[in-house]
Chains A and B, each alone.
Chain A
Amino acid sequence: MNVFATDASARLYEHAKFMGQRHIAQLFQEDPNRFQKLSFELDELLVDFAKQRLSTETLQHLCQLAEEKALKRWIKRLFNGEKINTSENRPALHTALRTPIDQSLLLDGTDVIQQVHENLDRMSRLVECIHSEQWLGCTGTPINTLVNIGVGGSDLGPFMACKALGEFSSPASEKLEIHFVSSMDGSHLSSLLSKLDPTRTLFVISSKSFTTIDTLANAETAREWLKRAEVHAEMDESLIIKRHFIGVSASPQRMVDWGIPESNHLYFWEWTGGRYSMWSTIGLPIALRIGMEGFRDMLAGAHVMDCHFRDTPFTENLPVLLALVGIWNINFLNITAHAILPYDGRLSHLPSYLEQLEMESNGKSTTRHNDQVNYHTCPILWGEIGTNAQHAFYQLLHQGTVPVMCDFITSAKRYEAPGHEELKHQHQLNLSNCLAQSQILALGDTVIKDADQAPAYKRYRGNQPCTTLLMQRLSPYTFGMLIALYEHKVFVQSVIWDINPFDQWGVELGKTIATGLLPALTQEQACEALDSSTLGLIRHINR
């Protein structure tokens, strides 16, 4: 099935034949007002598409495509809590996680907004208890270190947000050390445990299903480490768990089975996708880092983006436009690589967060109707702090053979307090690099005089489409807006591609096969019925 067999698509294919021949530099020469026409603002966020290989006409066609794909109805279905995650038969209600308390949304007769706020309040009490140094370890010493054990959605979002918003710590929260542990092989944990004080460490086990093997393996190691500590020699295991473990999950019973008492549970729901869960109690480390007030600011920023997405015409709708520009690049200009380039060290973990958000959501080739697609869906997405990537893969962006679309993400103001002149200068240096790189990537060496006289190896082809996302300042609020923007972008693209962005069946088989191979590696059981490569490797390992 070709979802692009529509009137607007036909016009876009035709339009692409023309635009595909154009160079972005040419577009700027022809229209000096591109920035005014192709940049859009919401609150403290500006998105500039002027360095994309498109025109206002392109956007009009793309918006018509969105109309044809019934995007409006899909947005409504998303917000209303319809079971649009059809393969798992559940809604995707991350928008409910940031809806203010004065609203309501009934799901199977229950008001989920009330449930959300009850859990936020529960989390708030816990945060207050830890910040006031009244969460005591089993020796009675206040906890001063938190280790979040989780993987995927239970790790990437909180990890990214804590890094991004660290400077918004309060005097109470900055005393708390927060670490993230995810790797299944124990690398993170083993290097960390040797530095931690078992009497003052609290582990947060985050797993929606509470069956994730990576997480449970790390949790088990943490439990054994606590039990082995000399100061805990005479403590019951149940006491150690009660004072040193919090569980965050949608499966209360499994938390109880693992030993975590009900008093230490935080809940979220089946309708919260893992990679959309940092707004829920999975965000506990964020709230502990920046305080509940900061956490609620982040939710408020995301909610502003939700309302904008739900209520604004497509032609001015940031998530819709961001998604459609992607569709244009991927499906009409045939660009299948996407670089995420934050020009802000605080956003260093944004690329890996977006890798999961985008590729786990839309990295699929089966439509909602179980047909195979015959068009590109999610591109390869990767990234790095821009100024660091300049010393790594920008060579490929500038002079390689692969067309790549780039998102430049930065904030206009930073280090504004007096006494930070040197750092402020560094920020300006950073901004000048951000602007210079997107300029050259889009316009090529036309930005300098007589470039065509240079030898070929010194030439810059340009024509790599770039979007700039500029926050006035990075804060919990604008950060919330930014992440919600990408979430909705992913949803819009899934609607155009007719795929379900909320499941991830492609990651299941690996888990099953790995479980099956374990006995062969622990030499409990011979495993003959394998391909020669896997068998050969196992034998080599076991030698």
Chain B
Amino acid sequence: MHIAIWGNELIAWTAAAAFAEYGNQIHINSDAQIPRSLSQQSEQNNVLFNEPGLLHKVKQHYDQGQLLCGQLDEALACPIQIIALAPDKLELAQQLLGLAAERVPFSLLVINYATFGLGATDQLNTLLDIKRDQVIAYIPDNLSEGNAYERFTQTDTLVIGCQSSKGIQLIQALYKPFSRHLNQLLPVKTHEAEFMKFASNGMLALRLGYINELANLADQLDIDIDTILAGLGSDPRIGKHYLSPGCGFGGSYFSKTIESMAELLKTNRNSIILNTLIEENEKQKTRPFRKLWQHYKTDVAGKKIAVWGLSFKPNTASIQNAPSLNVVKTLLAQGCEVHAHDPQAILNFSQEFPANGQIVYHEKALDALQEADALLILTEWNEYWSPDYAKMLKLMKQPVIIDGRNILEKTLLRDLGFTYYGMGR
């Protein structure tokens, strides 16, 4: 099938790679005005660089001619149009659909992946002509950065928000290669599907926020959060997912939906539950710093601080809304010298905080520890889980570890002579 995909978001490139893999002819572009080559498009957005393996897949299909960029007229004439734009690009989506609706002679299927807000898909639908068999569907994506391709191609539930049975049929055909893992196909109304997307992300965020609050409280009451979590997780009503406290969630994708849901709740219900959550999450991001601040009795100026982990989560180079941004900003403002390490995100991070006398980037994690007064762990990259403690002890001036992700074994560390602070432990 000929598919046009509009957008530069993670879902745009993931869908492009996945659909191209199974024989579809893909046109991917970020807007209908300026034709851009693959490299020009990928330069506009770090998604392709940040997501492991995705760039490789995209390039492969591009080289094989299965994936095309810059042929705007052809793209606008495709019978399947996929909107995968950023949440603030509704106007652009309207413009694109207006053009496509004119050009495609008959049977146009529009799939909207973009999180424009509740009712946006119905709004886009008004641009289509039902008499000419032009239909729209909203599919909430459940991608998570770091393993987006797997999530897309191995989904176990496919929610399709679509009022047209023909549209649903066509989508089923399109998703056929990915149906091996599919347990449930759930056709719903478009605005119900949109709501589902907001609702599930909001629920996850609330859970994370609550766990973080519990950990903070546990800290203050001298209770070990690990014990509490073991109990909580064994309760089948609660389960074990999304139950790890840490220094706040980030990423562009998740954060954007939470913000939209917060706005929706605020406007319609005058409810600030998610706004409070976002606010608390921002505070949570600097919690490792606050532990350092208290350890050094508010006197941190001139201290040499090692930071492990800059990306907002492991296996991505993305630093969007990452706790490291807040922590490093505060460390620098308070006069600390920062020595940072991250397996993938240094390039992105150094664009925000260029290396200078006050901030130095290291290729090897241990190198960042030389003469350090403390180590802050902000991302749970695999290589940080079991470091060479003996070397660390030798390198660090003060063996103080603040584990923002609770990945280290606190008793062992204390026995080895480290001063260890976790999140709620």
Contacts and interface: CB of A to CB of B under 8 A. Distances in A.
Given A134-B334, A136-B298, A141 B290 contact: yes
Nearest to A132: B333
B169 interface: no
Contacts of A136: 293, 298, 330, 334
A202 to B, nearest CB: 13
Interface in B213-239: 220
A138 interface: yes
Interface in A128-173: 132, 134, 136, 138-141
Interface stretch (A20-28, A236-244, A283-291): A236-244
Given A132-B333, A139-B293, A239 B220 contact: no
A138 to B, nearest CB: 6
B286 interface: yes
Nearest to A199: B290
Interface string B288-308: 011111100110000000000
Contacts of B292: 140
Contacts of A236: 297
A230 B286 CA distance: 20
B276 to A, nearest CB: 14
B298 A242 contact: yes
Contacts of A389: none
A136 B334 CA distance: 9
Contact of A243 (B220, B286, B298): B298
B220 A230 contact: yes
Nearest to A200: B283
A242 B301 CA distance: 15
Contacts, number: 30
B300 to A, nearest CB: 9
A239 B298 contact: yes
A435 interface: no
Contacts of B333: 132, 134
Contact of A141 (B283, B297, B334): B283
Contacts of B294: 138-140
B394 to A, nearest CB: 29
Candidate in A138, A230, A231 with the most chain B CB atoms within 10 angstroms: A138
B220 A231 contact: yes
B297 A239 contact: yes
Contacts of B290: 139-141
B423 to A, nearest CB: 14
Candidate in A132, A136, A236 with the most chain B CB atoms within 10 angstroms: A136
Contacts of B289: 140
Interface string A234-259: 00100100110000000000000000
B297 A134 contact: no
Contacts of B291: 140
A127 B98 CA distance: 51
B286 A140 contact: yes
Nearest to A134: B333
Contact of A134 (B283, B298, B330): B330
Contacts of B297: 236, 239
Interface in B270-289: 283, 286, 289
Nearest to B221: A230
A21 B345 CA distance: 87
Contacts of A132: 333
| Chain B interface helix/strand/loop/mixed | helix
A138 B220 contact: no
Nearest to A129: B333
A230 B220 CA distance: 9
B331 to A, nearest CB: 11
A238 B36 CA distance: 61
A176 to B, nearest CB: 15
Nearest to B289: A140
A170 B289 CA distance: 27
A242 B220 CA distance: 22
A139 B220 CA distance: 12
A243 B334 CA distance: 13
A479 B362 CA distance: 54
A328 to B, nearest CB: 57
B316 to A, nearest CB: 27
Interface in B344-370: none
Contacts of A141: 283, 290
Nearest to A230: B220
Interface string A111-133: 00000000000000000000010
Nearest to B296: A140
Contacts of B330: 134, 136
A239 B294 CA distance: 10
Contacts of A139: 290, 293-294
A236 B291 CA distance: 16
A131 to B, nearest CB: 12
Contacts of A140: 286, 289-294, 298
Interface string B137-172: 000000000000000000000000000000000000
A139 B286 CA distance: 11
A431 B334 CA distance: 50
A134 B293 CA distance: 12
A231 B293 CA distance: 14
A231 B290 CA distance: 12
A473 B334 CA distance: 40
A140 B299 CA distance: 10
Nearest to A231: B220
A243 B286 CA distance: 17
A132 B332 CA distance: 13
A266 B330 CA distance: 24
Candidate in A136, A139, A140 with the most chain B CB atoms within 10 angstroms: A140
A230 B293 CA distance: 18
A156 B291 CA distance: 39
Contacts of B298: 136, 138, 140, 239, 242-243
A138 B299 CA distance: 10
A134 B327 CA distance: 11
Contacts of A134: 330, 333-334
A493 to B, nearest CB: 49
B353 to A, nearest CB: 15
B127 to A, nearest CB: 30
Interface string A207-231: 0000000000000000000000011
Interface string A402-429: 0000000000000000000000000000
A236 B297 CA distance: 9
Contacts of B334: 134, 136
A138 B294 CA distance: 7
Contacts of A243: 298
Contacts of B293: 136, 139-140
**10 tightest A-B contacts by CB?**
A140-B290, A140-B293, A134-B333, A138-B298, A239-B298, A243-B298, A139-B290, A239-B297, A140-B289, A140-B294
Given A141-B283, A141-B290, 13 more contacts: A134-B330, A134-B333, A136-B293, A136-B330, A138-B298, A139-B290, A139-B293, A139-B294, A140-B289, A140-B291, A140-B293, A230-B220, A239-B298
15 contacts: A134-B333, A134-B334, A136-B298, A136-B330, A136-B334, A139-B294, A140-B289, A140-B291, A140-B292, A140-B293, A141-B283, A230-B220, A231-B220, A236-B297, A242-B298
Interface of B: 220, 283, 286, 289-294, 297-298, 330, 333-334
